[in-house]
Structure 1
Amino acid sequence: MTELKAPREGFSEALIRLGKQHQNIVVLDADCAKSNMTNYFNDHFPNRFFNIGISECDLVGTAAGLAIAGKIPFANAYANFLTGRAYDQMRISVCYSNKNVKIIGHNAGTSAAQEGATHLPLEDISLMRSLPRMTVIVPADSLEMEKAVEAAYHFEGPVYLRVGKLPVPIVTTQKDHFEIGKAIKYRDGTDVTLISTGIMLDETFKAAKQLAQKGIKAEVIHVHTIKPIDIGSVVQSAAKTKCVVTVEEHSIIGGLGSAVAEVLAEHQPVRLKRIGTNDRFGVSGKMPELLDFFELRASRIAAAVEELLDIAFVK
């Protein structure tokens, strides 16, 4: 049975491990330390933890100041409030000024389901991807989250890291190499390229298996870094399969689907279908219910592939 673990747990564990190794790490939180699991960092390093309160703008501004002082700040808050309210501070104080700040968006995607529709961030990647100098990372599970935290620490410059709250299957392995800006090919195929990000890697694996039962060979590529996107991997696979389906737990506007579409339009025009949330706000419910509601399931991915292949056959 596949192990389930919350990405925020992997984030917290990696942060503490790095904190023991590097004295320049400081952690800031917008009064959500228990939910974000940054309270455990506070338990270990109380002199390097700052609760800024429910003030995301101050959170980011303070983090930028700490970066000027030579620290490497990890600024934590709920993704919907952090990317929305503090956008101006991230734009000017962090990205324009090119400060070494790590922006951590918690409660991301459908993992915020039971918080209510207004708390469901489905536009955060789009907002962060639009900022010059901002690197955007969306890990698949808690294990990859640990690798992403360490990579973010060693990376010089602004980083946005998307963190889910609820347990999801661990589908990556310890031996998988993680490098910012480099996609991972998990499965070879010749008929279609499935490109996923974040927790949708699990459903993408399942879709590839369903397609294999019908004789359709799907190549599976996991893009944990939305920006900078791995142009080479996308182009190479698309040139081979001539058919691409992107899968994300985010709006299809401005996220992974948009990033891949831009790459294909400029370098390798092929048939493309984007699967994600379609220009709409979230709804309240439980995480599995929302994944069903938004049709972020293997069956929809497989159906999209068959639709594209049917179009190609007709033409």
Structure 2
Amino acid sequence: MTTATPRTKLTTSAMIASFADPGQRTAPAPFGHALAALAEERPEIVGLSADLAKYTDMHVFRDAHPDRFFQMGMAEQVMLGAAAGMAEVGLVPFASTYSVFATRRAYDFLCLDIAEPGLNVNVVGGLPGLTTGYGPSHQATEDLAILRGCPGLTIVDPCDSVDIAAAVPALAEHDGPTYLRLLRGSVPTVLDEYDYRFELGKAAELRTGRDVLLISSGLMTMRALQAAARLEADHVDVAVLHVPTIKPLDREAIVRAARPDRLVLTCENHTVIGGLGEAVGSTLALAGLSTRFGQVGLPDEFLAAGALPTLHDRYGLSTDALVARIRAGLDGHTPWAAEPEPASA
């Protein structure tokens, strides 16, 4: 009889992988801490989770205010319906789950229970876009496309811990339903180095530049700033317009920033279908502006599973990939999202 060798337990960090660069400044669980602090001042703030408090940073609020936290289990529709009922009686709910479940699974409840009556319910979606390596079941690459068409819904895609900390009280104060694309865990701190203040519904120019304009949201604003700094060494002048509010879109700021003498690229952690890129493109077209315009975003396909840095390189969200796209656009190559080359005969 032989004795079995104990097996080493295999673990993966694909689900909660961080997109922060090595050595980058970060803040732990900025959403959870901001919500817990806000609840100290506002007793009507409540938190709900669909069995994912730890993975949406709602656990910070839960530990600070256990009597105002509601664990709804794996029942996202029930969670949003309960949040609607709480809002009807004057509470201000923040309901957290993964973006894929809030959008694909519970959209009807969000639309008819929350948005149609205009209730102050704040839906918090973790793992937006390509922020997990777990594959299509958890990669919410189309959440903006789904939700932009929902009447009366305000949508925020924050860049970093600074954005999140300021967005939480602004969303609570806003009269109506909101959706926050949550960056969780150790979130980079970037925007404190700029003369920036989050304002709901407003875009902010973080850098000026004569050659290229990057119009970005979410974590791609961080990448846009990195790309701009890198290209500066090659005498390429890159402006960055940060758009934290996807809906309502700050169309006036976009039209002001876009000029026909420079390349304009949108940068988003979302499919190129139905997100920031198409919203900006239609804004420019309706304003009658003619400029070189393109999109940096995820392809219109189900994405692979794997290590997050590898996936960001593969699908064009890394700083290296963004720099390459800008150079290609400046060299006269097609700047928009490239189509696959046709197979040779």
Q: Partner residue of 1:117?
A: 136
Of 217, 227, 233, the residue aligned with 2:253 is: 233
Q: TM (normalized to structure 2)? A: 0.85
Of 275, 278, 282, the residue aligned with 1:255 is: 275
Structure 1 residue identity aligned to 2:181: R
2:216 counterpart of 1:196: yes
Structure 2 residue identity aligned to 1:97: P
Q: Partner residue of 1:171?
A: 190
Closer/same/farther in 2, CA of residues 176 and 255 from structure 1, 3 Å limit: same
Give aligned pairs, total.
310
Q: Partner residue of 1:45?
A: 65
Query: 1:155, CA displacement in angstroms?
Result: 0.9
Query: 1:230, CA displacement in angstroms?
Result: 1.1
Mapping of residues 226-305 of structure 1, within 5 Å: 226-239=246-259, 241-267=261-287, 268-305=289-326
Query: 1:259, CA displacement in angstroms?
Result: 1.2
Of 21, 25, 30, the residue aligned with 1:3 is: 25
- Larger mean Cα displacement after TM superposition, 189-198 or 201-210: 201-210
Cα deviation digits, residues 264-313 of structure 1 (max 9, x gap): 1111232211011110122211221221121212233233233333339x
8 Å CA contact 2:30–2:184 kept in 1: the answer is no
C-alpha distance in 2 between matches for 1:283 and 1:75 = 28
C-alpha distance in 2 between matches for 1:155 and 1:306 = 40
Cα deviation digits, residues 77-104 of structure 1 (max 9, x gap): 1111111111011111111111111010
Q: Which has the larger radius of gyration?
A: 2
Mapping of residues 76-225 of structure 1, within 5 Å: 76-113=96-133, 115-173=134-192, 176-225=196-245
Query: 1:39, CA displacement in angstroms?
Result: 2.1
Cα deviation digits, residues 208-265 of structure 1 (max 9, x gap): 1232233221111111111111111111111364421011111111111111111111
Stretches of structure 2 lacking an aligned partner (at least 5 in a row): 1-22, 334-345
Higher helix share: 1
C-alpha distance in 2 between matches for 1:239 and 1:206 = 22
Report % sequence identity. 36
Structure 2 residue identity aligned to 1:233: A
C-alpha distance in 2 between matches for 1:26 and 1:168 = 23
C-alpha distance in 2 between matches for 1:141 and 1:130 = 25
Query: 1:107, CA displacement in angstroms?
Result: 2.2
Structure 2 residue identity aligned to 1:278: P
Give me the CA root mean square deviation.
1.9
